[in-house]
Structures are given as structure tokens and as C-alpha cells.
Amino acid sequence: MCGIVGYIGKAGAPAVLINGLKRLEYRGYDSAGLAVIDDERVVVAKSPGKVAALSDRARSEWPEERFETCTSGIAHTRWATHGPPTEANAHPHLDGSGDIALVHNGIIENYRALRARLEGKGHHFESDTDTEVLAHLIGECDKGDLFQAVCDALHQVEGTFGIAVLCSREPERVITARRGSPIVIGVGDGESIIASDASAILAHTQRVIYLDDNDIAIVTADSVEVRDLNNIPVTREIAELGFDAEAAEKGGYEHFMLKEIHEQPECLANAIRGRLDFDLGTAVLSGMGTSPRELAELDRVVIVGCGTSLHAGLVGEYAFEDLADIHAEVEQAAEFRYRNPIIGSRDMVISISQSGETADTLAAVREAVQKGAFVMSLCNVVGSTIARETGRGVYLHAGPEISVASTKAFTCQVAVLLMMALKLGRGRRFSREQGMRLAREIETIPELVERVVAQSEKIRKIAADYADAEHAFFIGRGPMYPVALEGALKLKEISYIHAEGYHAAELKHGPIALLEQGTPVIALACDIPGRDKTLGNVEECRARGARIVGIVSEGDFEVAECMDDAIYIPRCHPLVATIPTVVALQLFAYHIANIRGCEIDQPRNLAKSVTVE
């Protein structure tokens, strides 16, 4: 995810900004830039790649004294969303006059309409970004008072933002504001530091002001004045950070994995935002680049991926067949590439990959392209190889996933697959009313997940009773079967407990022989079709001495009574229910691994991106 740093004080701003950006590197990014005011002009340096490359460029291109004399500036690390990670797309962006510079986190949803309007007034844009549109909008609103210009522009913006704005006319102040994207201001001794997360501030001060949504602040070296977007002053207390740099990178969480589990409501909101059309009861996924007619003519959906992404694809298989009435198949990418699969021009091949770099998935993509299929990608990392080679697809917008064990990518993959299935379904048998109902269900996903994340402590207590297990089984039916596979994968990769996911009915065809007194069986038994049959399978396990942890629907006490322990998830559509269910399993695995003292973020033998076959 992108990072913001702003500085105004007595030190040389370029070095402070670059050091601040380095503190934000852990968040993941693909380009960086900074702007300072020198001799009443805004000067900008940008570079694709790492902060070190930006630093080298500024050092080689800028005069030495600029590093000493410029004492205010803004900087940014960009994780590409709109447009590839090029120098032109890197922040800061300038307004039309070049006097105003802007860095921005978040997504301006109505940027296309704003851009068209501004182009009509003669504005010319150099990047693909929504941020440059906002910079020009601020310039358009500027009548000599930067603060007022920013307020006026933000009133016209739909979407989310954390911003910092610099103007050559007002070198003694930086304007910053937020809506849905965090901004924290460090209050130092004769200096102020603005950042999107506290890790960039720690080197300067422990005293901070957190902005709330729709706050806008005028920051000088000695003062921070916070107002709302209607220019009414608001009071924000100064707080003590009370944690060190390493803890700050993890947002105060003990591990990145836990942070990423907790981030899911926000990530899912980002993945879903602007992609549901409630009037037409469909999904708006322009990156798919397909006409309704092309979709209607498809014979089949084939999904390829590896590991967690493969499991998301298996949930997608249920969604496509159930919602879109189209034949769907899922295949391990590694198998697909060598199997000489029968694929043609009426098949849509969806390649799923968080990193967009997994070698087997990439090879499967190339094979499908060769065979003339309609190839899409579902990636998280913008500009990744798979995203580029497919040319069409849907980004997850989950933000960088640092923990090797994938969590937020999985839930966003499933959410996007549901939207894809909804879109295909509307071109086939789904009525407008059915589409509208499902769109409403999908919209609630972030809130459903929030309710599971809030149970983390309760899940930790349950996990403590299972932490010394040697084996565990996860069982489920229908769309919960792939969730069982994913739950088992999470547990084995971070806790090193041998875990297997099975279709609930399959257990008695062999694996049940492994059950002993006390073997944990995690039963996905929420109130969706198949629940009663899963309960029957639970009884078979209990009869052999297994201890059962049930994932059950809120209020389903009848089922909860059959379990030794129960974790409740909110009631929702059976396909949607896969998402809160997996979040419960992620927390269960995380707490067990933590109790066992495992190396959670970097489990042994695993790499985040598997670029070899």
C-alpha cells in the first residue's frame, strides 16, 4: 500500500523525507517520489523502483545546497492501482500551473468524470492516475488560498484519500487531510512530520495527532490546526505513540499475518467499492474487457492457480456454476501446463495469483493464450507479469501482503470471483432482482468479516486447547469444502501441525482411520445447504473420539451443542459465508502457531512468491 511522508521544520527536508519513506518500505510499493520548495518553486524527483533509486536520482540531479536549505516537502511510495508503476505515474503530482504538489493514498472513484470535466477546461494530464486529477482539481479551485482550494476540491471528490499538499506560494505550511486512509501528524520540537503511518514519525517524536475522517489540517513547523471540510475548527488531542519502529510497521500487531487478518474488512471494502451496480443488479468489472455478448457466448470457465489462490478458485467454481449457470473447472496451474488441456476460444481461463509472478500460473496463462482462450487474471500486485501478459482482469486492491501465509488475498479473491460470477450470471439466467439481492449480500462482506475479526480473543482461547495437537482435519461440503482445504493449509504452513482438508463425506472413505482420542476435527457447519449432512459426519468423528471445533451460524445453538467448541459466523448467503468462515480459520491457525512459538510471518521452507516450477 502507498505511503505518505510530509515534513516542515528546520532540517533539510529531502533527507528527512527519504528516511521517512524508508521506514514505510515494509508496506510494499513500486515507485517513489518527493517534492520540496526551492527558491519559490516546487521541484520534484521521482523514480520507479526503490526509495534508494529515488535517493540516488535526487542526489545526482539536485544541487547539494537543496538538501540543506529546503525545509518543507512531501514524499510518497506508490503501490500501483491506476496505471503501471512508471515515473509518470509516481507521486507527487502537480497541478496545471506546477505551483501545487500532491501526494495521495486511496482511490478517487469519480476521477474519470472529474478528468473529463477538467480536460474540457483545457487541463492536460501526464499520468494515468486519479491523483493527478485531484492535483489539477485543487489547482482549478485555487483562488489564492491553498487551504480553501483543498477544501473546495475535496468536496467534489468521491472515494477515499489521505493527502499532503505543498504550494510554492506558501512554503511555511503543508495541508493534509483524510477520508478512509490514515494520516498521523508528529508534533516535534520546531518541526512537524506528516505520515500515513507512525513508523515514519518515530525518529522525530512520540507526540502525534491522528486525523479523523473528513479532517483537514494546516501544518507548520510549530503548529497543527485541524478543521473539518467546512472550515469549522475541530479539537484533536495530542497522543503518545508508545511503541517502537518495528511495532509501528506492524501497526501495533505482533505479526504481519495478524495485521493482515485484521485489515480484511478494509481490504474487502477496497476490492468491492465501485464494482457493484445495484440498479442493474450486476457487477462493474471494466478490466475484464468483455462485452455482454462475449460473456453470453462462453461455454466454460477454467480457473488456474496454486495453493491458496487455487482454493479461492475452487470457491469460484461453485459460484460460476451456481450463479452464472456456466460449466466451471479448476485446475492446478502446474498440471494444466503439461496436460495439453482441451481449451478453445469459447473458454474463459481465469488465472488467480496474489503476486502475479508464480511460475506455474504464468506458464498456464501462456498455454491458455496459445490455445486461443479468453484469458483473464485476478492478481493483487499491479503491473505483475501475469497481469501484464493477460492484459485483462481484475485487481484485488488488497494492499501488499507481507506475511508469507496468504490471508487477505484469499478473501479478496473470493469476493472478486463472486462479483465476476454475478456479472456472468446477469448475462445468463440471473434476473435483475436476483442480481440486486446478491449485490446487496456482497456489499455486506466487510461488515461480516469485521464481526469475525472481533472474536479474535475468543478464538485464541479455543485455539489454546488444540495447540499441542499433532494432526488435525478440516471438513466441509459444497463451497465450504475448498474453505476446509484452505483452513488446513493455513494451519500446516504456520504451525507445522499436520493438517488435512477433506470433503466431509470423504472422511469415512479412508482418512477416518487416522482419528484417535482427542484428534481435532474442524467442522465447517454453518447454516447453508448440506449442514445437516455435515452434522452426520461430525457424529461419525465424535464416535471415534475426535474433538470437534464447529464453525457455526450465529444463533444455531442446535448445531453448537454437537461441538466441543463453537465459533460463530454471521448468517449470510452460502457463497458469501465462505469469507467469514475462512477468517475464523485464519485466526484459529494464527493463534495456534503463536502459542506454539512458531515463526509466523516467514515459516520455514516457504517463500512469498514462487517463481520456480
* Per-position x/- string for 483-522, each x denoting binding to ligand F6R as judged by CB under 6 A, each - no binding: ------x---x-----------------------------
SS3 content of the chain, % helix, strand, coil (to 5): 40, 25, 35
Regarding 306 and contact with ligand F6R (CB under 6 A), the answer is: yes
Q: Which of 307, 425, 479, 501 binds ligand F6R (CB under 6 A)?
A: 307
Residues ≥6 apart with Cβ < 8 Å to 432: 280, 281, 426
CB of 369 to ligand F6R, least distance (A): 17
Regarding 308 and contact with ligand F6R (CB under 6 A), the answer is: yes
CB of 394 to ligand F6R, least distance (A): 14
Phi-psi region of 294 (alpha: psi -120 to 50; beta: other; left: phi over 0): alpha
Q: Is 567 helix (H, G, I), strand (E, B) or coil?
A: strand
CB of 381 to ligand F6R, least distance (A): 8
Answer for the pair 418, 350: CB distance below 8 angstroms, yes or no: no
Stretch that binds ligand F6R, among 10-18, 40-48, 140-148, 306-314 (CB under 6 A): 306-314
CB of 364 to ligand F6R, least distance (A): 11
Phi–psi pair at 56, nearest 5 degrees: -60, -45
Q: Is 267 a catalytic residue?
A: no
- The residue assigned the cell 462479483 is 419
CB of 308 to ligand F6R, least distance (A): 3
Answer for the pair 91, 79: CB distance below 8 angstroms, yes or no: no
Q: Which of 45, 268, 405, 579 binds ligand F6R (CB under 6 A)?
A: 405
Phi–psi pair at 128, nearest 5 degrees: -95, 5
* Per-position x/- string for 135-174, each x denoting binding to ligand F6R as judged by CB under 6 A, each - no binding: ----------------------------------------
Please tell me which residue in 50, 458, 533, 608 is annotated as part of the active site: 608
Nearest-CB residue for ligand F6R:
307
Regarding 390 and contact with ligand F6R (CB under 6 A), the answer is: no
State which residue, 404 or 512, has the beta carbon closest to ligand F6R: 404
Q: Name the amino acid, one letter, at 347.
A: D
Q: Which of 55, 77, 309, 390 binds ligand F6R (CB under 6 A)?
A: 309
CB of 30 to ligand F6R, least distance (A): 16
Regarding 354 and contact with ligand F6R (CB under 6 A), the answer is: yes
State which residue, 478 or 603, has the beta carbon closest to ligand F6R: 603
Q: Nearest-CA neighbor of 92 among 28, 167, 147?
A: 167
CB of 493 to ligand F6R, least distance (A): 6
Regarding 353 and contact with ligand F6R (CB under 6 A), the answer is: yes
Q: Name the amino acid, one letter, at 513.
A: A
Regarding 586 and contact with ligand F6R (CB under 6 A), the answer is: no
Answer for the pair 439, 445: CB distance below 8 angstroms, yes or no: no
Question: Three cell numbers at 127?
Answer: 499520468
Type and span of the H or E element at 272: helix 256-272
Tell me the C-alpha distance between 395 and 376, whole Å: 11
Regarding 361 and contact with ligand F6R (CB under 6 A), the answer is: yes
Count of residues that interact with ligand F6R, criterion CB under 6 A: 15
Please tell me which residue in 2, 70, 306, 572 is annotated as part of the active site: 2
Q: Which residues pair with 342 in a beta bridge?
A: none
Regarding 435 and contact with ligand F6R (CB under 6 A), the answer is: no
- Please tell me what DSSP assigns to residue 141: H
Going along 442-561, which residue ranges are E strands? 471-476, 498-503, 520-524, 547-553
DSSP class per residue in 475-512: EE-TTHHHHHHHHHHHHHHHH--EEEEEEGGGGGGTGG
CB of 253 to ligand F6R, least distance (A): 18
Question: Three cell numbers at 608?
Answer: 512469498
Q: Is 518 helix (H, G, I), strand (E, B) or coil?
A: coil
Q: Is 22 a catalytic residue?
A: no
State which residue, 168 or 355, has the beta carbon closest to ligand F6R: 355
Q: Is 137 helix (H, G, I), strand (E, B) or coil?
A: helix
Per-residue burial over 5-14, b if 16 or more Cβ lie within 10 Å, else e, is bbbbbeebbb
State which residue, 399 or 530, has the beta carbon closest to ligand F6R: 399
Tell me which residues are annotated as active site. 2, 608
Residues that bind ligand F6R (CB under 6 A): 306-309, 353-355, 358, 361, 405-406, 489, 493, 609-610
